[in-house]
Chain A
Amino acid sequence: QVQLVQSGAEVKKPGASVKVSCKASGYTFTSYGISWVRQAPGQGLEWMGWISAYNGNTNYAQKLQGRVTMTTDTSTSTAYMELRSLRSDDTAVYYCARVFPDAFDIWGQGTMVTVSS
């Protein structure tokens, strides 16, 4: 079946970086985009950015420009999201989602990232 499986929970110190993976299966990876969304504890959904799995084009939320990088590895059908210079307010569940046709039809299970000294 179509699914996105994300990497496990992370605990990082302020100033560090985190890289979350999202492995796709059950569909042609390069035919769809991937977006990343995060959700701080008890809060709503925040869109972080989008990457084309076809050609690697990206568009990031303005708020995260300069701190976030999204990449894909088509050989393993995996998308990655790296966030640098972590702060306590980056503590959140991070989701990847398939973009089809413009909305997010398949979601990963989420990855908890905790930033704490």
Chain B
Amino acid sequence: EIVMTQSPATLSVSPGERATLSCRASQSVSSNLAWYQQKPGQAPRLLIYGASTRATGIPARFSGSGSGTEFTLTISSLQSEDFAVYYCQQYNNWPPLYTFGQGTKLEIK
């Protein structure tokens, strides 16, 4: 089973600054990596898939990079609405199998 490890567990950043979140896979997942944002009381929202492709309607300040085992989600200039928990997820095409990281809480500094 592939294990996804996110770091840090909590990240404190000031509005307007840049945030960098990391996700590591225990073995290569190629570019089969997605990022989600979740706010309290809400369902998760897809931000990035294919490691670097923004989902429909996602602002350009969100960007994803990486392949293999190391991935990064960057938020270039934090807005108040960006403070939330972020999850990475790897997916295996067949059979369909998915694993989430434990999440990074992005909080206001």
Contact = CB atoms under 8 A, between A and B. Distances in A.
Contacts of A99: 96
Interface range on chain B (Cβ under 8 Å from partner): 20 to 34
Interface string B69-109: 00000000000000000010101010111111111000000
B55 interface: yes
Contacts, number: 63
Interface of A: 33, 35, 37, 44-47, 50, 59, 61-62, 95, 99, 101-105, 107-110
Given A35-B98, A59-B96, A102 B45 contact: no
Nearest to B95: A59
Contacts of A107: 43-45
A33 to B, nearest CB: 7
Contacts of A110: 43
Contacts of B43: 95, 107-110
Given A104-B34, A104-B44, A45 B91 contact: no
Closest A-B pairs by Cβ, 9 of them? A103-B34, A107-B43, A103-B49, A50-B96, A47-B98, A59-B95, A45-B100, A102-B91, A44-B103
Contacts of B32: 102
A108 B45 CA distance: 11
Contacts of B38: 45
